Structure 1
Amino acid sequence: MAVTNQNHANYQARLDFIQHLLHDRLDLKEDAEIVPIQYDPECPFKYNNSVYRISLPLPLPLDKSTKDKARQPGCVPIPAGTKTLIMRLSNPIAEGMNPETRIENEVAIITLASTALSSFHPHVVPSIYGWASAAPPSSQGWILQELMPGTPVNEAFKTLDLPQKQKIFAQMAQLLKALQDYEIPASITGFGGVTIDENGRIVSTAMTSVGLGPWPSYEAHFIDRLALALRKADANSYIKGWRANGVRDRLDCFVERGVPAQFESLSSKRDRVIVHADFTTNNLLFDAASERITALIDYDFACILHPSYEFLRSFDGAGGQFRGWSGDEASEQTAMREAKLRGFPSPIPPTVPDGVKWDVAKTWEDELEKLDVRRPRTIAGIDSVADVDTTLRSILPWRVTNSDVLWLQSEEVIVSCRNENEEQLVKLLGRLGF
């Protein structure tokens, strides 16, 4: 079946690649045990990475763990006695991922995050032991890293009561505060991705999930991404550049005049922080007995951007992401957006099945407030930026542009989604004055 080919093609070749690499780098005399993590061969969507748990035949002795004296940038020696490791293999056909910089960006961001979060004991950022670029002509990018203790928070999150969730949120707020407070090195001059130069310095480069950048400003980042989205919309046989009904002309005017106007209210627009961009409960590990977060993992989408961007991309499970105008002023999501901007009502609305979890969102907000974490309520102008981001998302609706989901839907459903999205896009542009 076609679905199997998405992720299962070359499965054995990947295992053989890892075995060969381990034998070469660690001088293994026997094969290691290699077990895929969160792997479904029939998943219809391409994984960004294939992730494996490595169990070595014997604990690593000191002389083998330190044999490579000329270590790669961002790497540390594998501790003597190590028995288990993690191997991440980048998927060369992952949707929207830039192979030129993705491995280098992840290594560099992990290096920065390790310093930013160095006050947490035990450490919560995995150490890197080796890596190889995914940039052509390389056939396979990879990162060999530390296996962090704990289980994903999302596996237990629904079963936790509110006081237990509050403990998790308190720790998440501490992590976010530390990332926000970290002083970005002077060698990183732009907004976007990062890499490591020939002198070992971490410097600006293209953003992994975009393939463009770095940019001189947060605003330029959005303008460039909007232009890219419009080029991709031109190539989409369903969207056809949104040229029907005059929508494209309105979009072009918005990019030229509207985006600069939207950023006028963001007085902190020059601020830059480490943005994880996938800071969710499935990328947090914790120890269930102590209810302590043990790791923040998966820096695939991480970048250097304005602190508002974290709230546009992260925190599902903690009250949800902060989104722009939705078109339904009476919806609970709109009410939640206003609460995050202006303050939560007292008492908060009751939580109903499949509705907004007001108690969870308020608890998360309270923990952010305790530490004075920069958040929607304290980032003046984030609502205007969120509207720009919503426009960006609307130009390339997932169900009409993602190659993995298109073949799962009928032509009728795709066209219906396209037309519904155009209606929403027209309403959004109208609200923005275009």
Structure 2
Amino acid sequence: MQIYKVGGAVRDRLLGLPVTDIDWVVVGTTTEEMLAQGFRPVGADFPVFLHPKTGEEYALARTERKSGRGYGGFTFHASPEVTLEEDLIRRDLTINAMAEDRQQNLTDPYHGQRDLENRILRHVSPAFAEDPLRVLRVARFAARYAGLGFTVAPETLELMTQLSESGELQALTAERSWKEISRALMEDQPQVFIQVLRDCGALKVLMPEVDALFGVPQPEAHHPEIDSGIHTLSVLEQAALHKQPLTVRWACLLHDLGKGLTPEEEWPRHIAHEHKGLKLIKAVNERFKAPKDCQELALLVGQYHTHGHRALELKASTLLELLQSFDVYRRPQRFEEFIVACEMDARGRKGLEQRSYPQADYLRGAAKAARSVAVQPLLEKGFKGPELGEALKRERLKALKIYKDTASV
């Protein structure tokens, strides 16, 4: 039995990055021998085991063969005869196809270390094109390591393009796609993920609503970058720079989808794009079965982000409607995420990345003013049921009028 550390743990150690998860591959043994040593089986499709003490994953060396469509369309073969090199060749990228023994002796049959040094993301073998999920994975690695200067090898991008055109991407399940998309959005440069998907034609297949934004102009006075797609990438970049959570990043990606529906003769204006975009945001949400909090925030930001930008001009009654729409009394965090999404939208414009956004604190103050209205005095006056709701609205409206009159921005 020979045991090797493989994949990301080797890659990140060589890059000088922190190593978090460690995967091991075991060569020259059987399932029975692993069980006899106390390893616990967890792999349904192929033999993967948890170490009895550390809980780390140990997988038997295996080969794989394409047997159907999509990510799951493979049959696996594990036996003591499968070599380390045979196991490594089935991996996606050369930088993920290296192994180390216990003494840190490197096994690198596909020149992953050279590609690390040259900052290249390159596929290991032509079998790369058999797994559509790898299109998303490579784009995610591009987002993760863009700051270190990594780019996708032209021949790998070509294979990704072939996959995108083959119809195989449609075979991906919503769950697998969302897992990669959500991880990619939380990388340091998620805009690179979207750009790489676009470069290989995958964005047009997976998110045609986002792809449609590229080439659509906006008024230069408000958007010096002009292109709606470039603006979306910039907003996403700002969200990552400001360490925003997944909910905000997802909303930033989808907030302007309505601009892709504007007829060319109306360019560069996009009247009512907020409302038009809602059906598109809903479609993307459902396609990837995004978590409920991501879905809700994306729809709310899509509908109300221009309200956020015009916050200082809004009437007290409109402010109240905005706060009610977010259920700001029971769900204050969702309104806070809306505010920061609006700020990222404002900053995601060429040359305006450092602009101040006084609307943020103004909206926070408005929410505080509305929440400060106490229910108890109204109950003591005998209000109940629908009448109580109406009385609360009246008092909150008064509080917002006072706030508007006294707020200094």
Q: Provide TM-score, normalisation by structure 1.
A: 0.27
Query: Comparing both structures, which one devotes a greater share of its residues to helix?
Result: 2
* Greater Rg over alpha carbons, structure: 2
Comparing both chains, which one has the higher relative contact order based on Cα–Cα distances under 8 Å and sequence gaps of 6 or more? Answer: 1
